[in-house]
Amino acid sequence: MSDFQQSVAEDAKAKPFMLKKTVVMVGMMGAGKTAVGRALAQHLDVPFLDSDQEIETAANMTVPEIFARDGEPFFRARETEVISRLLQGKPCVLSTGGGAFLAPANRDNISRRGVAVWLDADLDLLWTRVRHRDTRPLLRTADPKATLTSLYAERVPEYSKADLRVSCAPPVSVENMAKRVTEVLLTRPDVLEKANA
């Protein structure tokens, strides 16, 4: 089979799902937005993008380096620009940083052009996942657990404004979380449909 014939054959294979809007993963650091988002994209056979990764690529710096050099307000402004740009592309799964959904401009943009999915993880699970990592600039404090607790209390009311909520309890594998998110997305035919439905 020639490359052309193989390409035509692959295009003819029906994708299992038809994604109509970008799925934007929101929630606390450690909720699994990147891991679950990547697995979800694979499950739906669509591209996966990560807003933090896109910012790092554009700046040629890590998020902690940007925070240290330019401060959080500068980072948040770049984040809003990047999310806006990514939402204009083809439907995909987009993972965002923990603070992204707090900005009204981002919430409005996501609501207009995509669908926000809140990965709702409790504080104990989040702390288990983030306590041994030093890649979280907001947790570089004298008492990171107290900082996380405070961020959690501040942010959960904002995350609850997301279009859809998927519970991370009881903790399940990344693959099973991706399936759980898929089931919730299928309740919104304007977002996701089974291709053979």
DSSP string of the chain, one letter each residue = --HHHHHHHHHHSPPSEEE-SEEEEE--TTS-HHHHHHHHHHHHT--EEEHHHHHHHHHTS-HHHHHHHH-HHHHHHHHHHHHHHHHTSSS-EEE--TTGGGSHHHHHHHHHHEEEEEEE--HHHHHHHHTT-S--GGG-SS-HHHHHHHHHHHHHHHHTTSSEEEE-PSP--HHHHHHHHHHHHTT-TTTEEETT-
In this predicted model, what pLDDT tens digit does every residue of 16-53 receive, in sequence order? 899 999 999 999 999 999 999 999 999 999 999 999 99
Mean pLDDT (whole number) for 118-131: 93
Q: Is residue 193 part of a domain?
A: no
pLDDT the model gives residue 16? 87
Mean pLDDT (whole number) for 109-129: 95
pLDDT surpassing 80 at residue 6: no
Instruction: Copy the structure tokens of residue 129.
Output: 């996942």
pLDDT the model gives residue 196? 73
Q: How far separated are the first and last CA of the chain, in Å rounded?
A: 31
Pairwise CA distance, residues 116 & 193, whole Å: 17
Q: Is residue 160 part of a domain?
A: yes
Q: Is residue 140 part of a domain?
A: yes
Whose CA is closest to 116, among 94, 90, 98? Answer: 94
pTM: 0.88
Instruction: Copy the structure tokens of residue 77.
Output: 């402004």
How many structural domains is the chain composed of? Answer: 1
Q: Is residue 68 part of a domain?
A: yes
Q: Is residue 162 part of a domain?
A: yes
Q: Which of 14-18, 108-112, 153-157, 180-184 has the lowest mean pLDDT?
A: 14-18
Instruction: Copy the structure tokens of residue 52.
Output: 């933090």
Side chain identity, residue 54: E
Q: Scanning the structure block, which residue is given the tokens 């994604």?
A: 19
Q: Is residue 9 part of a domain?
A: no
Rounded mean pLDDT of the chain? 90
Domain with 177, as residue range(s), is 17-187
pLDDT the model gives residue 85? 95
- Under a CB-based contact definition with an 8 Å cutoff, are residues 94 and 24 in contact? yes
Task: Label residue 10 by pLDDT band (50, 70, 90).
Answer: low
Q: Is residue 8 part of a domain?
A: no
> CATH no. for residue 49?
3.40.50.300
Mean pLDDT (whole number) for 146-166: 96
